A and B are shown apart, each in its own frame.
Chain A
Amino acid sequence: MSYIIKGETGDWEIVVGLEVHCEVISKAKLFSGAATAFGAEANTQVSFIDAGFPGMLPVINHECVRQAIRTGFGLNATINKKSIFARKNYYYADLPNGYQISQSDMPIISDGYIDVDLEDGSTRRIGIERLHLEQDAGKLMHDQHPTKSFVDLNRAGVALMEIVSRPDIRSPEEAGAYLRKLRSIVRYIGSCDGNMDEGSMRCDANVSVRRPGEPFGTRAEIKNVNSIRFVMQAIEYEAMRQVELLESGGRVVQETRKFDSVKGETKSMRSKETAMDYRYFYDPDLIPLVLDDEEVERLKREMPELPDAKKKRFMEDFGLPAYDAGQLVAEKETAAYFEKAAAGHDAKKVANWIMGDLFATLNRLGKKITESPVSPENLGKMVDLINDGTISSRIAKDVFQFMVEEGKSPDLIIEEKGLKQVTDTSAIEKIIDEVMAANPDKVAEYRAGKDKLIGWFVGQTMRASQGKANPGMLNELLKKKLAG
């Protein structure tokens, strides 16, 4: 489904490319041995290299390289055997060396893609231009002193993967789906935790608009948006702003803009960005990064199953519809939970329980699926108990709640609470007889043609059975008895 902005003068299409910075999961920084834990006390994770002291030299941390390679495989991309680090030169107080070590024309990864699922069930392929490794900068704190700014270099030198998409994204929804998919992939791989709220995944969006079929328009870059929802809002706002500007005879200027999440607007940040010349050149302190074929092969072999493959497998092995499979594989932990719960049980029903009651419960409790009070084994067992008629689907809801509260196995709960379904005909008939005997007027009304009262009788008898009567049997017997 194409996303079109209906302007006053006609239709507009939006064109978006995303640059995502992913903080690499690694014990040490990209070029120094300093630690990388989030939230440590300011300036406690800084080596002399990170602080740009005289005579200090960078040495590549190979774990960061391996993470980039793994991610490259996850993006269906080319792993470049040779890549080169370059210096991006600029002055700022959070950049101790006066340059950031990055990669320019020789990135470690290039030419990949990811497929994203959209709500209407369609799939879009978004191209990845490149992934390169670079250093993060430090952090300035302006709120610690009335006249001074403080610098925290804990983050300075931490490895980032900058993942640059092609301008293939055509709607805010696609941008959101792309980011969710990317986050899912890096989380599966374990190369980035994908937590946008902690800043370990950050997104810049390049947005432009054009008449359908025409060449790309001038783009604006929205910097550092820190949630998927905000990225989508920012794109939507920015595209509308550009359309209004163009339709009123204005021109879009190439500039850096900032998203104000409170007002939901983008604002011009700095025009000097365009005048900036970063004087890139290959870092003479480092030699070209040449990958070892064997290691690359080994990393490929050791790649975990990624969301797309898992989704396909869930559909084939468990007979799940695409939507369900997509939901279940989005998070690695959910997929793992599902696989455990579904093993040897009714997978479709297990999937429904996970996406329904379990998700709702976890949401309510604010817990992750790895912290679920209901173990996957118990959920599977419960589905079996529904299927073999031990409990009804209705009772199962209660059983599930007891499982959430008590963490016990479903059979134990059914046993303890006496929730076993009643399938004994005479027992059900006895209840029906009692209800009919207590309500002769209603029986008379029913028999006089008020068919709708059947619902009332079902409710009464079910209540009298404490919900344990087999609903099918109850219905059948009730009709027979009421008919006289």
Chain B
Amino acid sequence: MTDLVELTVAEALDGLAKKEFSAVELTEAHIKEMDRARELNAYVTETPELALERAKASDERRAKGTAGKMDGIPVGMKDLYCTKGVRTTACSHILDNFVPPYESTVSQKLEDAGTVMLGKTNMDEFAMGTANLTSYFGPVRNPYKRKGDDSFLVPGGSSGGSAAAVASGLCMAATGSDTGGSIRTPASFCGIVGCKPTYGRCSRWGMIAFASSLDQAGTMTRTVRDTAIMLEAMAGFDPKDSTCANVPVPCYEKALTGDVKGLRIGIPREYNPDKGLHSDVRHVWEATAEKLKAAGAEIVEISLPSTMYALPTYYLIAPAEASSNLARYDGVRFGLRVDGNSLDEMYVNTRTEGFGKEVKRRIMIGTCILLEGYYETCYLKAQKVRRLLCREFEEAYKKVDVILAPAAPETAFGKDDDSTKDPLVMQLYDVFTVPSSLAGLPAVSVPAGTSDENGLPIGLQVIGRPFDEETILRTAGVIESMSGMSVRPLRVGGK
């Protein structure tokens, strides 16, 4: 029998259905693996007892014939989903020991589908980061290593813990959240599939907010099929989130036909700059386009002229919203409180100690942008550019069905690389992911090859029309099968 942690979600569901193993066995195998791979720092809170309890209940449901669509599947939960009775911190000191008395809609839906939560995964503090270096609980290690080099590589961020856990068999699938690339970048760096569905596809209720108009829940799995299974379980209308769309959720698995004949795939000129795109990434992108063409797709060069403004636009809107969203962390009602001699002093002390450097930086920027004067020149202008970007995508989708682009400009980098010291350089890693975030479009990052230079995985991004996750998953499925990438997890710490 194959090692249980190496199975895909689809395979595990099959095995459970055939009674080849139980949910308890599946969960135990993952708990053992989590113990073995502590060095990755993928989880910040582990819940083995709760997991075994749920696994047992899952087996009972299966015995009774009432199993859900993902019954018995061990999953990791990004630490920004509020989980009832389980500490939830968004990896910030300011939410020290915050135990939510409620369950987020997404995690509830996954529980309702029968999944077994193994614990809360590490992430950048309040999802602000591209390398998982800003977590209060320390960085996450990418299970991948460069060829002939043992140095500590980052998993990408902000959903770095989820990506590392999925890539190394510490769970079969995990939730992520994507504000400007927080699912797609780590998916690309860790060689897994990461899907940010359309804004409004999944409820944000119970998700700790970073930037409300951009935050979107999504999936991190080892295969496109697993993504299809998980997304169907997570997605859907929720009256508790005013921005959640009342659009029916299709069976995504059915969309995976493996056929791209006649599909019009757009290659945006602006995503291929002379500088700032690693040649290996460009090579994988071009090669994949060629292969898709060979499979019957039509490759169309398109232009999204405002792409170059997307990054500065994102870095105005997201911090502005964050500065307001994070105002509630004031030490009054929950989380950390550092006393002071007055109310204002208590606020200052609490927030000074509670927030990390990157979060403070963004709160400061966001606060400034909303001040009179800057609001008109920065914030309103950014909103205009955002609408322009949306229109350009709309125009593009008159000519093409999906857009193919790199997910990240480079492969995973080292934790101590010089680039990690400069927040402005770090922002450049979001350059290909933020345009679709600003436009609210669905996008999936799928492993498409590896770097010749360092052997690290390279992900490509398929961006679709609003609520057309089916077509991006269908395309991603074909890329996956053409890439020859292994879906087996990377074992850490030896067997």
Contact call B321/A284, Cβ cutoff below 8 A = yes
A93 at the interface (CB under 8 A from B): yes
Contact with A along B324-349 (1 / 0, CB 8 A): 10111010111000000001100100
Instruction: Give every chain A residue within 8 A of B98 (Cβ-Cβ).
Output: 54
In the bound complex, residues from chain B placing their C-beta under 8 Å from that of A58 are: 242
List CB contacts (< 8 Å) of B84-98 with chain A: 88, 90, 95, 98
| Closest B residue to A149 using CB positions | B343
**A277 CB within 8 Å of chain B:** yes
Name the CB-closest residue of B to A49. Answer: B240
Complex: A325 Cα to B309 Cα, angstroms = 66
Contact B242 A286 (CB under 8 A): yes
**B324 with A89: CB separation less than 8 A:** yes
User: Given the complex, which residues of B lie within 8 Å of A91, measured CB to CB?
Assistant: 327, 330, 344, 347
Docked CA distance A284–B366 (Å): 14
Q: Which of B239, B240, B332 contacts A96 (CB 8 A)?
A: B332
On B, residues with C-beta under 8 Å from A are 80-82, 88, 90, 95, 98, 100-102, 104, 204-209, 211-213, 239-243, 320-321, 323-324, 326-328, 330, 332-334, 343-344, 347, 367, 370-372, 375, 379
Per a CB cutoff under 8 Å, which of A55, A59, A87, A277 touches B242?
A59
Q: Does A224 interact with chain B (Cβ within 8 Å)? A: no
Write out the residue numbers on chain B whose beta carbons fall within 8 Å of the beta carbon of A287: 242-243
Q: Are A60 and B328 in contact (CB under 8 A)?
A: no
Q: Judge whether B82 and A55 touch: CB under 8 Å.
A: yes
A52 located at the interface, meaning its Cβ lies under 8 Å from any Cβ of chain B in the complex: yes
A323 at interface, CB cutoff 8 A: no
Interface pair B375/A53, CB less than 8 Å apart: no
Q: When the two chains form their complex, are residues B211 and A284 in contact, meaning their CB atoms are under 8 A apart?
A: yes
CB-CB nearest in chain B for A151: B332
Give the distance in Å from the alpha carbon of A346 to the alpha carbon of B371 in the complex: 65
Cβ contacts A to B, 13 pairs, < 8 Å: A53-B100, A55-B81, A55-B207, A55-B208, A59-B239, A89-B327, A96-B328, A279-B371, A279-B375, A281-B375, A285-B242, A285-B243, A287-B243
Q: A361 vs B464: C-alpha distance in the bound complex, in angstroms?
A: 76
Cβ A54 vs Cβ B90 within 8 A? yes
Residues of chain B within 8 A of A92, CB atoms compared? 343
Select from chain B the residue with minimum beta-carbon distance to A289: B242
Measured between beta carbons, the chain A residues less than 8 angstroms from B81 are: 55
Q: Give A427 to B27 CA distance when docked, in angstroms.
A: 110
Q: Which chain A residue has the least Cβ–Cβ distance from B332?
A: A93
Which B residues lie within 8 Å of A59 (CB)? 239-242
Known contacts A89-B327, A91-B330; is-contact A284 B242 (Cβ 8 Å): no
Within 8 Å of chain B (Cβ to Cβ): is A73? no
Residues of A close to B332: CB separation below 8 A: 93, 96, 151
Residues of chain A contacted by B326 (CB below 8 angstroms): 98
CA distance A259 to B193 in the complex (A): 64
Contact A57:B327 (CB < 8 A) given known A89-B370, A93-B332 = no
Partner of A54, one of B100, B211, B241, B324: B100
The yes or no answer to A99 lying at the interface (CB within 8 A) is yes
Contacts of A277 in B (CB 8 A): 371-372
Q: Is the CB of B371 within 8 A of A54?
A: no
The CB with the most chain B CB atoms within 10 A, among A51, A56, A60, A281, is that of A281
User: What's the nearest-Cβ distance from chain A to residue B455, in Å?
Assistant: 39
On whether the beta carbons of B327 and A97 are closer than 8 Å, the reply is yes
Is the pair A55, B205 in contact by a Cβ cutoff of 8 Å?
yes
Q: Is the CB of B204 within 8 A of A57?
A: yes
Interfacial chain B residues near A216, Cβ < 8 Å: none
A3 within 8 A of B: no
Which residue in A56, A87, A149 is a CB contact (below 8 Å) of B324? A87
Residues of A within 8 A of B243 (CB): 284-287
Which one, A96, A149, A281, A283, contacts B370 given CB within 8 A?
A: A281
B242 touches A98 (CB 8 A): no
Residue A38 lies at the interface, judged by CB distance under 8 Å to chain B: no
Q: Give the most central of A151, A277, A287: most B CB within 10 Å.
A: A277
Q: Which residues of A contact B320 (CB under 8 A)?
A: 281
A33-69 interface bits toward B, Cβ cutoff 8 Å, 1 = contact, 0 = none: 0000000000000001001111111111000000000
Tell me the minimal C-beta distance from A343 to chain B in angstroms: 48
B contact patch SS: loop
Candidate in A56, A92, A286 with the most chain B CB atoms within 10 angstroms: A56
Please classify how large the interface on chain A is, using the bins under 10, 10 to 19, 20 to 34, 35 or more.
20 to 34
Q: Knowing A53-B334, A54-B95, A60-B242 are in contact, say whether A98-B328 is a contact too (CB < 8 A).
A: yes
Q: How far is the CA of A93 from the CA of B98 in the complex (A)?
A: 19
Contact at B212–A99, with CB atoms within 8 Å?
no
CA distance A395 to B468 in the complex (A): 86
The distance in angstroms between the C-alpha atoms of A284 and B211, with both chains bound, is 8
Known contacts A52-B328, A98-B324; A281/B379 CB under 8 A? yes
Given contacts A281-B320, A285-B243, whether A54 and B327 have CB atoms under 8 Å apart is no
Distance between A139 CB and nearest chain B CB, rounded to angstroms = 14
What's the nearest-Cβ distance from chain B to residue A283, in Å?
8
Given A57-B204, A59-B241, A286-B242, 9 more contacts at CB 8 Å?
A: A54-B328, A55-B81, A89-B324, A96-B332, A98-B326, A98-B327, A99-B327, A284-B213, A285-B242
**CA separation between A53 and B82, bound complex, in Å?**
10
A89–B367 Cα distance when bound, in Å, is: 10
CA A47 to CA B88, docked complex, whole Å: 19
Contacts of A54 in B (CB 8 A): 82, 88, 90, 95, 98, 100, 208-209, 328, 334
Min CB–CB distance A247 → chain B (angstroms):
34
Chain B positions within 8 Å of A60 at CB level = 242
Cβ–Cβ < 8 Å partners of B375 in chain A: 279-281
A83 to chain B, nearest CB (A): 14
Complex: how many Å from CA A21 to CA B362? 35
- The 3 A-B pairs of least Cβ separation, nearest first, read A98-B327, A279-B370, A284-B212
Partner of B100, one of A55, A149, A279: A55
- In contact, A97 and B328 (Cβ under 8 angstroms): yes
A355 to B323, CA, bound (A): 58
- Interfacial chain A residues near B211, Cβ < 8 Å: 284
Bound form: Cα–Cα A92–B344 in Å: 8
Contacts of A89 in B (CB 8 A): 323-324, 327, 370
Query: Which B residues lie within 8 Å of A149 (CB)?
Result: 343
Q: How long is the Cα–Cα vector from A42 to B379 in the complex, in angstroms? A: 39
Residue of B nearest to A140 (CB): B343
User: In the complex, which residues of chain B have a beta carbon less than 8 angstroms from the beta carbon of A48?
Assistant: 101-102
Complex Cα distance A55/B95, Å?
12
Q: How far is the CB of B331 from chain A (nearest CB, A)?
A: 10
Report the Cα distance A93→B321, complex, angstroms: 21
Which of B80, B239, B330, B343 is the most central at the interface, judged by chain A CB atoms within 10 Å of its CB? B330
Residue of A nearest to B370 (CB): A279
Bound CA–CA A283/B241 (angstroms): 13
Cβ of A98: which chain B residues have Cβ within 8 Å of it? 324, 326-328, 330
Q: How far is the CA of A286 from the CA of B240 in the complex (A)?
A: 11
Closest Cβ of chain A to B251, distance in Å, is 28
Q: Once the chains are docked, how many angstroms separate the CA of A279 from the CA of B375? A: 8
Q: Distance in Å from the Cβ of A291 to the closest Cβ of chain B?
A: 15
- A281→B209 CA distance, assembly (Å): 16
What residues on A are CB-neighbors of B327 within 8 Å?
89, 91, 97-99
Q: How many whole Å from A272's CB to the nearest CB in chain B?
A: 12
Kindly name the residue among A59, A92, A96, A285 whose own CB sees the greatest number of chain B CB atoms within 10 A.
Answer: A285
**A residues less than 8 Å from B343 (CB atoms):** 92-93, 149
Query: Are A52 and B333 in contact, with the CB atoms below 8 A?
Result: yes
Distance A57 CA – B204 CA, assembled complex (angstroms): 8
Contacts of B88 in A (CB 8 A): 54
> In the complex, what's the smallest C-beta–C-beta distance from A303 to chain B, in angstroms?
28
Taking the closest CB of chain A, its distance from the CB of B45, in whole angstroms, is: 15
Taken together as a complex, chains A and B put the C-alpha atoms of A114 and B100 apart, in Å, by 49
Decide if B206 touches A55 in the complex (CB within 8 Å): yes
Residue of B205, B321, B327, B347 with highest tally of chain A CB at under 10 A: B327
A256 CA / B255 CA spacing, docked (Å): 63
Contact with B along A141-172 (1 / 0, CB 8 A): 00000000101000000000000000000000
Bound state CA distance, A92 and B342, in angstroms?
Answer: 12
Bound-state Cα–Cα, A285 to B209, Å? 10
Inter-chain contacts of B95 with A (CB < 8 A): 54
